[in-house]
A = this chain, B = another copy of it.
């Protein structure tokens, strides 16, 4: 089969790759219905992560089960399934605590930008929909594999509650779906920090009540002003670029102890435990309560995967959906 392979910075090729097959009895192989380019795929694409050798890429996926290993019990060929970017057994103590992305046996899913994909720990990782969805629902279901689950985690981690005032930092796909998540969780006021007109528009469609274009200290001052000096109850930090991460790593994140203490700040983050949210979010998407698929403003055949990366790198697209 042909799939996406990253060879180096700004060098993603659609080329021949080995066909995935069952390697362990707990594996499944699925036929991809749709996949997409993640903001985190841009890290190696932009040279922020080293690439030692040509590597299959992509970790957001949904599709039809083709084959399962002998130990797989909960999904079967013909079912439409969605899974997290981290495979998890869904039974270890971390999984039971709702943090499947910290599963003691977690495995990163790789190579999803392809027609077919091997998914490890299929029983713990994949969730089947009640039937094969109509085509128009596929983009929304695809987002549940990572980007929507990540925005949802941001809102849950920030303890967004009915009536809350929420500020969302970052107007990428995660930030926009953070807005949608905050709305869904009952936030009354949602301040989206964005200076790109199409993203502002989508933020408003998703439930943003205010748009702040200022950044840094000016942005903080504007949020303070909008909230009569009180500030937001919850802030979703949805930037997470490699640059920001890199900046944070060598020095450690500087937090001034006493200031943090007296501000009653709550800080929580990490790789979103998408698996934990799948049943609830599938239900919401299936019943058209949420339409996260709107973040895809570019749809391409999988063979044009390189253009998907370019468009996102150059910020011509919020997020690119790829159809095998």
Mark A residues whose CB is within 8 Å of B: 93-94, 97, 99, 101-102, 104, 157, 229-230, 233, 245, 248-249, 252-258, 260-271, 273
| Residue of B with least CB distance to A255 | B253
Per DSSP, chain A at the interface is: mixed
Contact between chains at A258 and B249 (CB < 8 Å): yes
Residue of B nearest to A92 (CB): B230
* Cβ distance A252 to chain B, nearest Cβ, rounded Å: 4
Q: Give Cα A233 to B93, complex, Å.
A: 9
Contact B249 A257, beta carbon cutoff 8 Å: yes
CA distance A101 to B263 in the complex (A): 10
Q: How far is the CB of A104 from chain B (nearest CB, A)?
A: 8
Contact of A267 among B97, B233, B248, B266 (CB under 8 A): B266
Q: List, in ascending order, chain B residues with CB within 8 A of A102's CB.
A: 262-264
For A272, give the chain B residue with the smallest CB separation. Answer: B264
Q: How far is the CB of A92 from chain B (nearest CB, A)?
A: 8
Q: A249-B256, A253-B255, A255-B252 are in contact. Are A271 and B267 (CB under 8 A)?
A: no
Distance between Cα atoms of A19 and B257 in the complex (Å): 37
A273 surroundings in chain B (CB, below 8 A):
264
How far is the CB of A159 from the nearest CB of chain B, in Å?
9
A/B interface sample: 26 pairs, CB < 8 A: A93-B230, A101-B264, A102-B263, A104-B230, A157-B266, A249-B258, A252-B254, A252-B255, A252-B257, A253-B256, A253-B257, A253-B260, A261-B269, A261-B270, A262-B270, A262-B271, A263-B270, A264-B269, A264-B270, A264-B273, A265-B267, A265-B268, A265-B270, A266-B266, A266-B267, A268-B268
